Amino acid sequence: MCGLFGSLGNALAAPAFQSSFAQMRHRGPDDTEIIQPNGEVTLAFHRLAIMDPSHAGDQPFHSQQQSVWMMCNGEVYNYPALYARYQDSYPFSSHSDCEVILPLYQELGIAETARQLDAEFALIIWDQALGKLFAARDPIGIRPLFYGYSALDGKIMFASEVKVLSPLCTDIFAFPPGHYYDGEGQFISYRNISEVAEFHHNPIEKVLVEIRERLIEGVRKRLVADVPVGYLLSGGLDSSLVCGIAAHVLKKPLITFAVGLNKSPIDLPYAKKVADFIHSEHHEVLFNRDDTLNSVRDVIWHTESWDITTVRASIGMYVVCKYIHQHSKIKVLLTGEVSDEIFGYKYTDFAPSAAEFQKESAKRIKELHMYDVLRADRCIAAHSLEARVPFADLDFVSYCMAIDPALKMNTYKMGKYLLRKAFDGMNIVPEEILWREKAAFSDAVGHSMVDYLKDHAETLYSDAELFAASDKYPEATPFTKESLWYRDVFEQFYPGREALIKDFWMPNKSWQGCDVNDPSARVLANYGNSGL
């Protein structure tokens, strides 16, 4: 997890640049570089050293003639193949996985470079000969990237987090996933991973094999690092599968971490069962009411979001990542995000048809960079750690999105049936965990956490103040005292930037059974028993 900044103009002329760029140092405390290749274009990078942690891997990288400069926040999983392809023709200066992007770009240009990367990435390239600044982002948006236009000269700026651009730019926008910036003002789609040209209608036995093999490969790719790797283990299906597969592939104990409230944590016992099953070195991190309330401001500053679900789900993750940073040497964490968007949430049990299920899945994949992926990136990066997301493997997502949606509908009386069945009998995780009912992360750390937040919000606002929220915030109006609290804090840090988030993450209110006023799965009629 690194932090990058790129500007077509002279960012150093902006008095606020140094201080705003420094606010992102948590993303990369191992090295900081600020370079102006032509005396005006500004490239700046905070590095978290993962692959080739020596100074040879420091960024920006440049071509031998210093005609092309490149920065990338990400992990390139087809690095070995690309390195082999160019090692006889390109003088690599490091063993960093990201350096292979330079010869790839020099041969093929920005569009084909973006297409050929099997990676989680946000990258910026300055081509001196062309006089163009290019940028690109991975198809799911696992790595963050934003852009705006300098208040000084109107020239484009890019950065990993909004807090860097906010003092420098008038308007700020999320860089669309699966797009590249062509250096001439256009953002061009190179891959829409949510779009399915044709569904494959394989027998279910074939589908299960493909799901299993592709997820195993997605995990395998993400195990390579030159620094210690850890695993977030909630005790739910998704993180348990990631941990179980990693233990199966590595044939050695993992280091796992689980988080829960000090009172009645729901998931901690299940996480312990998985940890015992895979013989991991397991750590339980407990937090209380005060930790919950005291984390809210930090969580909103880091996530740059006012969304209810994002803030709630970030608190436990923020707490456990803080512990990992303070008590271990781990720098990489594997997590279980992106499974729900593919295989379904609790509320997608109510999908009225297979077509509607697919439409909802595609919508969630497109918006992931504003919600769960954003939350995981910021909570982990806040503590100078890197997130790797096996369920976001491009090959895995592409295949699973093209499964006949009728098979993914919950007609089995058990959510995520295909994913569970794919690993049935494989001895990857305990069968009890494989077939356990889903609990949302913000609930699973302990139901009391959400209650603490709601109760505290009641002490902050009167009913009249909530009623007046539409006057105060006509766009994305808070509709509960809790959401008004989050929005007020957000506006203190990022005034007028509410459009960075599309809307509150909520179930599809147009579906019967989903017209609820809280995003927690607890309010759904099927909570506690999957299937209708």
Please tell me which residue in 2, 72, 400, 514 is annotated as part of the active site.
2
Q: What is the pLDDT of residue 267?
A: 87
Are 18 and 25 in contact, with CB atoms under 8 Å apart? Answer: no
Q: What angle do CA 387, 100, 107 make, to 5 degrees?
A: 135
- For the segment 17-29, the average pLDDT, to the nearest whole number, is 98
- For the segment 259-284, the average pLDDT, to the nearest whole number, is 93
Complete DSSP assignment for 175-234: PPTTEEE-SSS-EEES--TT--SS-B---HHHHHHHHHHHHHHHHHHTT--SS-EEEE--
- For the segment 109-123, the average pLDDT, to the nearest whole number, is 98
- For the segment 376-388, the average pLDDT, to the nearest whole number, is 97
The residue type found at 289 is: R
HSE on the CB side for 5, CA within 13 Å?
36
Contacts of 179 (CB under 8 A, 6+ apart): 136, 137, 187, 188, 189, 190
Q: 259-270, pLDDT tens digit by residue? A: 999 987 888 999
Q: Which of 296, 319, 350 is nearest to 510 (CA)?
A: 350
Q: 25-71, pLDDT tens digit by residue? A: 999 999 999 999 999 999 999 999 999 999 999 999 999 899 999 99
Q: 390-437, pLDDT tens digit by residue? A: 999 999 999 999 999 999 999 998 999 999 999 999 999 999 999 987
Q: What is the pLDDT of residue 532?
A: 37
Are 228 and 255 in contact, with CB atoms under 8 Å apart? Answer: yes
Arithmetic mean of pLDDT over the chain? 95
Contacts of 36 (CB under 8 A, 6+ apart): 10, 12, 42, 43
Tokens for 251, please give them. Answer: 């044939």
d(CA 228, CA 253): 13
Q: What is the pLDDT of residue 524?
A: 85
Pairing of strands 146-150, 156-159: antiparallel
Q: What is the pLDDT of residue 523?
A: 81
243 is catalytic: no
At residue 169, does pLDDT exceed 50?
yes
Q: 435-479, pLDDT tens digit by residue? A: 987 655 556 576 789 999 999 999 999 999 999 999 999 999 999
Q: What is the pLDDT of residue 439?
A: 57
d(CA 521, CA 527): 6
HSE on the CB side for 283, CA within 13 Å?
16
Q: What is the pLDDT of residue 531?
A: 37
d(CA 437, CA 349): 13
Burial of 191: CB neighbours in 10 Å, binned 0-12, 13-18, 19+: middle
d(CA 135, CA 327): 36
Q: What is the pLDDT of residue 1?
A: 77
At residue 358, does pLDDT exceed 60?
yes
Say what percent of the chain tops pLDDT 90: 92
Q: How many residues are recorded in the chain?
A: 532
C-alpha separations of 290 from 261, 452, 466 in Å: 11, 9, 24
